[in-house]
Amino acid sequence: MDFTLTPEIEDIRMRIRDFVAEHVIPLECHPGNFDHHGMISEAALAGLRIKAKAEGLWALQTPTEHGGAGVGFVGMAACYEEMARSPFGPVVFNSAPPDDGNMMLLEKVLPTAELKDIWLQPIIDGKVRSAFAMTEPMPGGGSDPSAMLTTAVRKGDVWVVHGRKWFITGAEGAKHVVLVARTSNDQRKGLTAFLYNADQPGAHIERRIPIMGPEEHGGHCEIVYDGLEIPDENRLLEVGDGLKITQIRLGPARLTHCMRWLGMAKRALEIAGEYVRERQSFGAS
Ligand SMILES: Cc1cc2nc3c(=O)[nH]c(=O)nc-3n(C[C@H](O)[C@H](O)[C@H](O)COP(=O)(O)OP(=O)(O)OC[C@H]3O[C@@H](n4cnc5c(N)ncnc54)[C@H](O)[C@@H]3O)c2cc1C
C-alpha cells in the first residue's frame, strides 16, 4: 500500500504543523488560557478559530462546497496527527470530537440540501455544537448496543422518548443532538436514530461526569429523557437503521481518535526526550 501523501495534503499538513507550533502551543504556558476542565478557554479559542478559517485550515473533513477542505481519510489521518500535538489543537480547526464525527455522519445520511442547511451547516460553520447520544448506564447499551433500553414510541407524527444516556461528549452546550433509541424488539432492526434540538423540553442533563485529563467543551454528561418529542421528519435513515447509523458514525471515529492520540503521544515523547537530555542528577547528565 502506498502511504505517500499528495503534494496538496502535505501542504495542508505542514501548514497545520506550523500553525500549531506558532499559535496554539504557546497558549499552553498561561493558566488563563485554560477553562475549568483543562481545555482551551472559549475566549482564547474564538480568535484562533477566526485565524484558522482565514487560512483555509477549517473543518478539513467536510466537502469544499460546505466550507471544508474535503481531504478524505488519508488527509485527515495526516492532518489530525499534527493538530493534536496540542490538546487545544483539534477544536481550533473544528476537527474535535464529537462535532467531527457528527459532521461526517450528517453529511452522509441527511437526504436533502435543505436538511443539511438546518442541521449540518451550523456545526461546520462553528455556530453550534453537537452531541451523539448512544451509551447508557447499566444494564443498558454500551459495547453491546443491542442492550439499549431508551425507547422512542411513535405517537402519530412524533416519537416520544424515555430513558437515560451517559458519557455523552459535548452535551453541555450542544444544540444539535443525534440520539439512538429502541423502537422495537427486533434483534437487528430494533434501534432507530433521530436528530433533536437541545432547546426542546423533555430532555435534561443530570450531571457532568468527570474524566482524567482535559475535557472536550461540554464535558461527558448523563442525560435523562422524560417525554422528549421528536417529529418523524427528524428521523435519520429508516426505522430500524439505528445500528447502521452507529457504524457509520463510529467507524471513521476510530481512525480520527487514534490519529489525535498519536499526535499527542509523539509530542509527549519529544517533551520527555528534551527533559532527559537536559536533566542533571548524581553529577551526570
Ligand atoms: C471519554 C469518553 C467519551 C465518550 N463519549 C461518548 C459519546 O459521545 N456518546 C456515546 O454514546 N458514548 C460515549 N462514550 C461511551 C463509550 O462509547 C462506551 O464507554 C463504550 O461503548 C463501552 O461501553 P461501556 O462503557 O458500557 O462498557 P461495557 O460494555 O460495560 O464494557 C466494559 C469492558 O468489557 C469489555 N467487554 C464487553 N463485552 C465483552 C465480551 N462479551 N467479551 C469480552 N469483553 C467484553 C469491553 O471491551 C470493555 O473493555 C464515551 C466514553 C468515554 C470514556
Burial group, residue 101, by CB count within 10 angstroms (0-12, 13-18, 19+): buried
Q: Give the pLDDT score at 88.
A: 98
Quick one: cell of 12?
495542508
- In sequence order, the β-bridge partners of residue 224 are 164, 204
* The pLDDT of residue 111: 95
Cell of 167: 458519557
Query: 129-245: what fold?
Result: Butyryl-CoA Dehydrogenase, subunit A; domain 2 (2.40.110)
Cell numbers found for residue 238: 429508516
Confidence (pLDDT) at 166: 98
Task: Please report, for residues 17, 156, 278, the alpha-carbon distance to residue 271 in angstroms, rounded to integers and kept in the order given.
Answer: 16, 59, 11
Q: Ligand 1 pocket, 169 CB below 6 A?
A: yes
Residue 211 clears pLDDT 80, i.e. is over it: yes
> DSSP string of 216-241?
PTT-EEEEEEEEEEEEGGGEESSTT-
Mean pLDDT of 214-236: 97
pLDDT tens digits along 69-82:
999 999 999 999 99
Q: How would residue 277 be classed by pLDDT, with cut points 50, 70 and 90?
A: very high
* Nearest ligand 1 atom to alpha carbon 180: 11
Task: Using the mean position of ligand 1's atoms as its centre, give its distance from the Cα of residue 167 in Å.
Answer: 9
Instruction: Report residue 221's pLDDT band, with 50, 70 and 90 as the boundaries.
Output: very high
- Return all residues near 119 (Cβ < 8 A) that are at least 6 apart: 106, 110, 176, 195
Q: Which residue CA neighbors atom 39 of ligand 1 most closely?
A: 143
Amino acid at site 207: R
Q: Are 45 and 4 in contact (CB under 8 A)?
A: no
Domain layout of the chain by residue ranges: 1-96, 129-245
pLDDT tens sequence across 114-131: 999 999 999 999 999 999
Binned at pLDDT 50, 70 and 90, residue 284 comes out as confident
Predicted TM-score (pTM) of this structure: 0.95
Most ligand 1 atoms within 8 A of CB, residue of 103, 129, 143, 211 to mutate? 143
Pocket of ligand 1 contains residue 134 by CB under 6 Å: yes
Judge if the beta carbon of residue 88 lies within 6 A of ligand 1. no
Position 285 pLDDT exceeds 80:
no
Q: Is the pLDDT of residue 2 over 80?
A: no
Mean pLDDT of the chain: 96
CA-nearest residue for atom 26, ligand 1, is 142
Alpha carbon of 254 to ligand 1 centroid (Å): 13
pLDDT value at residue 244:
97
The yes or no reply on domain 1-96 and CATH 1.10.540.10 is yes
Task: Give CA angle at 227 (221, 228), nearest 5°.
Answer: 65
E strands in 145-266: 151-155, 158-169, 174-182, 191-197, 203-208, 220-231, 235-236
pLDDT at site 250: 94
pLDDT given at position 177: 98
User: What's the pLDDT tens digit per position in 13-66?
Assistant: 999 999 999 999 999 999 999 999 999 999 999 999 999 999 999 999 999 999
